[in-house]
C-alpha cells in the first residue's frame, strides 16, 4: 500500500526568514508507520520546494498513491484543503487524510467547507494513523471506521466524530524516520548549517488563554533524555545537522530531565558538534539561574522568551505567571551566561495604542535582548481567549492567522497603523543593533551568529517577504493608509462549527451553574451547623507546602 505525505505550499513572512524548517511531523508519522510494516511511503515538501498545483497534480498521478495524507496549522488549512482536492482529481481512488491542530478542533468546519476530505485524524497522529492504515490495508475501510478512535468524517450528511483516542503514553516507542527528508534544503540562515526540530516532550501543564498546545497534547509527557540524545546523535552523524530547536512548548518544565539531557549531550561530545535553541518561560530561567552556564556548555545558544507583552495588564490577560521585572532579569541572566536571548512580544489586542507600541519598544531596548520579535495577536479559533473576544473578531480568513497579519483591529488604530507601528519598532531596534551592537560584540561565534541573524532580517526585508509586506503593499509610513491585507471576506465560521461551539458553551455554563449551586448549598449547610473547614496541614504540621524539585 503506497502512502504519500504532502507538506502544503503555504508561505508567510514569519519564521521562514530564518530558513527552511524541516516538517518534523512527517518523520514522526513515517517512523511509526514503518514499525507497523508500512514501507512504501513517499513525501512531497511542496512548501520548501515551492511546488505549484500543476506540478503537484503531475507528481500524484505518477506516484498513484493509495493514501494521501497532510497536516496543517491554521493559516495553511485552505492550502491543505486545496491540495486534497487536487489529490481527488489526480488519484480519485486514494483515501484523503488530514491531520493537525486546526482540523482536530475545527473538524466540523473543515468537513463542511471541504467535503472531499475523507477523514480527519484528531489529536496525536502516530497511533491513530497506524490503526487507520491497518483498516485500509485489511479491507475494513470504510465499513469499520466508526470503531477507530480519534477520527472525524462525513457519513452522508452526518458529521461523525468517533471517541477520542488516548494520548501516546510511551513516547520512547516513537522512532522518527528522519531519512524521509531532503536535508540539503533545510538550512538555518544565521549559521548556514542544516537545522532540525526534534521533540523532547509533549503537552504543557500551563493553560495560557491564547495558546492551544495544552489542549491538543492534553497530558504532559517527557521522553527519556538518553533517547532524545540518541536522536540528536543520529541527526548530527547521519544527516549533518548543525543546529536544532527543540519543538517543545517549554522543554525546561521538567528541570531534572532537561539537566539529564544537557549532561548526555556533554558526555557524548555532541555539545562540540551541534548548537541548539529552545522556547521557554521567564520563570524557568529565573529558577535555573545557577544552571545557565551549564546549559550553555551543553550547546544551548539561543533562548526565545515568551515575555509576551510589556504591560502587566496584558500579562494578566494572557494568564502568564510572570512580571515585567522578572522579564528584564531573565534576559540579563541569559546574556551573562553567553546565551543569545530573543524577546517575544504580542501586539494587536483591542487596547493597543501608539503609546503601548512605543512602550514595548522602550522596554525591549531597556531590557537589551539580542533579538526582539513583535507578533500580531492571532486569535486561534479553538482557544479560550477566542471564545471570550469572539464578538470583536471581524476576520475569519484563516490563511491570514499567521502572527504577521493584524487580524484584530485595535479600537484606537487602523490595521495599517498597527502594522506601521510594529515596523517602526523593528526598524529602530535592528538599526541600532546593527550600528552599535552586533559588529562589536566580541569575535568568533557570538559575532558570527548575531550578524547571521541580521543577514536573515535584511534578506527578508529586501525581498519584501518579511511580514508579507510585499503582498500587503507596505513600503513605509507613507503607505500605512493604503495597505491591503486581502482578507477573503466570504470566509465565515461554518454553521456546524458554530452550533458545536454553542453547545459546548451551553454545557460549560450549565456545569458552572451546578458547581455554584452545590457550593452555595454547602455554604448554607455549614452556616446552619456553624461548621468551619479546618486548614489542611502539610507534612510536619506546617501549612506551607514543600517546593517540588523537578
Confidence grade of residue 311 (pLDDT, cut at 50, 70, 90):
very low
> Where are the chain's structural domains?
3-161, 189-472
Is residue 395's pLDDT more than 90? yes
Confidence grade of residue 211 (pLDDT, cut at 50, 70, 90):
low
Is the four-CA dihedral 169, 171, 175, 181 of positive or negative sign? Answer: positive
Q: Average pLDDT, stretch 360-369?
A: 92
Instruction: Check residue 461 and give its pLDDT.
Output: 83
3-state SS class at 134? helix
Confidence grade of residue 324 (pLDDT, cut at 50, 70, 90):
confident
Q: What is the CATH number of domain 3-161?
A: 3.40.50.280
Confidence grade of residue 249 (pLDDT, cut at 50, 70, 90):
confident
Query: What whole-number distance in Å separates Cα of residue 298 and Cα of residue 200?
Result: 15
Confidence grade of residue 530 (pLDDT, cut at 50, 70, 90):
low
Query: SS3 helix, strand, coil % of the chain, rounded to 5?
Result: 50, 15, 40
Tell me what the pLDDT averaged over the chain comes to: 88
Number of neighbours of residue 95 by Cβ within 10 angstroms: 21
Instruction: Check residue 193 and give its pLDDT.
Output: 97
Query: What whole-number distance in Å separates Cα of residue 61 and Cα of residue 56?
Result: 9
Query: What whole-number distance in Å separates Cα of residue 445 and Cα of residue 22?
Result: 24
Grid cell locating 55 = 506540478
User: What is the biggest distance separating any 2 CA atoms in the chain, rounded to whole angstroms?
Assistant: 80
Q: Which of 112-116, 256-260, 458-462, 481-485 has the lowest mean pLDDT?
A: 458-462
Q: Average pLDDT, stretch 390-417?
A: 93
Q: Which of 122-131, 197-206, 491-500 has the highest mean pLDDT?
A: 122-131
Q: Which of 76-85, 377-386, 431-440, 526-535 has the lowest mean pLDDT?
A: 526-535
Question: What does DSSP assign to residue 71?
Answer: E
- Strands (E) located in 309-452: 340-347, 371-376
Confidence grade of residue 508 (pLDDT, cut at 50, 70, 90):
low
Instruction: Check residue 52 and give its pLDDT.
Output: 97
**Higher pLDDT pick, 486 / 525:** 486
Is the four-CA dihedral 27, 33, 36, 42 of positive or negative sign? Answer: negative
Omega of the bond leading into 142 within 30 degrees of 0 (cis): yes
Q: Which of 45-54, 343-352, 353-362, 496-505 has the highest mean pLDDT?
A: 45-54
- Region at 126 (left for phi over 0; alpha for psi -120 to 50; beta for the rest): alpha
3-state SS class at 289? coil
Q: Average pLDDT, stretch 488-497?
A: 87
Number of neighbours of residue 186 by Cβ within 10 angstroms: 21
Query: What whole-number distance in Å separates Cα of residue 463 and Cα of residue 468?
Result: 10
Give the H or E element holding residue 501: helix 495-529
Instruction: Check residue 476 and give its pLDDT.
Output: 92
Instruction: Check residue 536 and give its pLDDT.
Output: 37
- Strands (E) located in 289-413: 300-308, 340-347, 371-376
Question: What does DSSP assign to residue 272?
Answer: G
3-state secondary structure 111-149: HHHCCCCCEEECCCHHHHHHHHHHHHHCCCCCCCHHHCC
Residue range 189-472 forms a domain whose CATH class is alpha beta
Q: Average pLDDT, stretch 197-222?
A: 77
**Higher pLDDT pick, 349 / 396:** 396
Number of neighbours of residue 504 by Cβ within 10 angstroms: 11
Query: What whole-number distance in Å separates Cα of residue 192 and Cα of residue 235?
Result: 16
Grid cell locating 81 = 484543503
Query: What whole-number distance in Å separates Cα of residue 363 and Cα of residue 309?
Result: 10
Q: Average pLDDT, stretch 67-96?
A: 97
Percent of the chain at pLDDT > 70 equals 86
Residue 516, phi then psi, degrees to nearest 5: -65, -40
Confidence grade of residue 539 (pLDDT, cut at 50, 70, 90):
very low
Q: Average pLDDT, stretch 501-530?
A: 65
Give whole-number Cα distances, 6 to 65, 73, 99, 106, in Å. 12, 13, 11, 20
Query: What whole-number distance in Å separates Cα of residue 545 and Cα of residue 188?
Result: 45
Query: What whole-number distance in Å separates Cα of residue 337 and Cα of residue 302?
Result: 11
Amino acid at each position: 500500500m503506497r502512502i504519500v505525505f504532502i507538506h502544503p505550499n503555504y508561505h508567510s513572512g514569519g519564521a521562514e526568514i530564518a530558513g527552511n524548517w524541516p516538517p518534523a511531523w512527517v518523520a514522526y508519522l513515517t517512523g511509526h508507520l514503518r514499525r507497523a510494516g508500512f514501507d512504501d511511503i513517499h513525501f512531497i515538501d511542496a512548501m520548501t520546494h515551492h511546488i505549484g498545483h500543476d506540478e503537484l497534480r503531475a507528481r500524484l498521478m505518477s506516484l498513484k498513491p493509495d493514501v494521501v495524507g497532510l497536516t496543517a496549522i491554521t493559516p495553511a488549512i485552505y492550502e491543505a484543503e486545496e491540495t486534497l482536492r487536487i489529490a481527488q482529481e489526480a488519484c480519485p481512488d486514494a483515501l484523503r487524510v488530514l491531520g493537525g491542530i486546526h482540523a482536530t478542533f475545527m473538524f466540523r468546519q473543515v468537513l463542511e467547507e471541504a467535503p472531499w476530505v475523507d477523514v480527519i485524524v484528531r489529536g496525536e497522529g502516530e497511533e491513530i494513523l497506524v490503526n487507520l492504515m491497518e483498516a485500509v490495508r485489511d479491507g475494513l475501510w470504510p465499513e469499520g471506521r466508526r470503531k477507530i478512535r480519534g477520527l472525524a468524517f462525513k457519513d452522508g450528511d452526518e458529521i461523525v466524530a468517533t471517541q477520542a483516542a488516548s494520548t501516546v503514553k510511551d513516547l520512547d516507542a516513537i522512532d522518527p524516520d528522519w531519512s524521509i527528508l531532503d536535508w540539503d534544503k533545510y538550512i538555518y540562515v544565521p549559521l548556514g548549517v542544516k537545522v532540525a526540530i526534534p521533540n523532547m516532550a509533549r503537552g504543557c501543564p500551563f493553560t495560557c488563554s491564547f495558546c492551544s498546545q495544552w489542549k491538543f497534547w492534553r497530558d504532559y509527557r517527557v521522553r527519556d533524555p538518553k533517547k532524545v540524545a540518541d536522536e540528536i546523535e543520529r541527526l548530527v552523524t547521519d544527516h549533518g545537522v548543525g543546529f536544532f530547536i527543540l519543538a517543545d512548548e517549554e522543554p525546561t518544565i521538567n528541570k531534572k530531565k532537561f539537566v539529564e539531557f544537557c549532561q548526555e549531550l556533554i558526555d557524548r561530545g555532541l555539545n562540540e558538534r551541534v548548537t541548539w535553541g529552545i522556547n521557554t518561560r521567564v520563570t524557568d530561567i529565573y529558577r535555573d539561574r545557577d544552571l545557565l552556564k551549564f546549559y550553555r556548555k551543553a550547546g544551548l545558544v539561543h533562548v526565545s522568551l515568551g515575555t509576551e507583552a510589556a504591560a502587566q495588564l496584558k500579562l494578566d490577560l494572557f494568564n502568564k505567571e510572570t512580571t515585567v521585572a522578572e522579564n528584564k532579569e531573565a534576559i540579563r541572566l541569559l546574556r551573562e551566561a553567553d546565551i543569545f536571548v530573543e524577546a517575544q512580544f504580542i501586539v494587536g489586542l483591542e487596547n493597543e495604542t501608539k503609546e503601548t507600541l512605543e512602550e514595548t519598544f522602550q522596554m525591549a531596548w531597556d531590557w537589551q535582548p539580542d533579538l526582539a520579535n513583535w507578533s500580531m495577536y492571532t486569535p486561534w479559533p479553538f482557544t479560550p481567549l477566542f471564545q471570550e473576544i469572539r464578538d470583536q473578531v471581524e476576520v475569519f480568513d484563516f490563511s491570514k492567522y499567521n502572527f504577521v497579519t493584524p487580524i484584530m483591529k485595535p479600537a484606537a488604530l487602523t490595521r495599517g497603523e498597527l502594522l506601521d507601528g510594529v515596523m517602526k519598532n523593528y526598524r529602530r531596534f535592528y538599526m541600532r543593533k546593527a550600528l552599535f551592537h552586533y559588529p562589536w560584540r566580541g569575535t568568533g561565534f557570538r559575532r558570527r551568529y548575531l550578524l547571521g541573524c541580521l543577514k536573515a532580517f535584511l534578506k527578508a526585508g529586501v525581498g519584501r517577504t518579511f511580514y508579507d509586506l510585499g503582498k500587503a503593499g507596505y513600503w513605509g509610513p507613507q503607505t500605512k493608509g493604503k495597505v491591503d491585507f486581502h482578507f477573503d471576506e466570504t470566509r465565515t465560521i461554518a454553521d456546524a462549527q458554530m452550533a458545536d461551539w454553542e453547545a459546548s458553551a451551553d454545557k460549560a455554563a450549565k456545569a458552572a451553574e451546578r458547581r455554584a449551586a452545590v457550593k452555595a448549598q454547602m455554604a448554607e449547610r455549614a452556616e446552619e451547623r456553624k461548621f468551619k473547614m479546618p486548614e489542611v496541614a502539610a507534612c510536619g504540621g506546617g501549612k506551607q507546602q514543600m517546593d517540588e524539585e523537578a
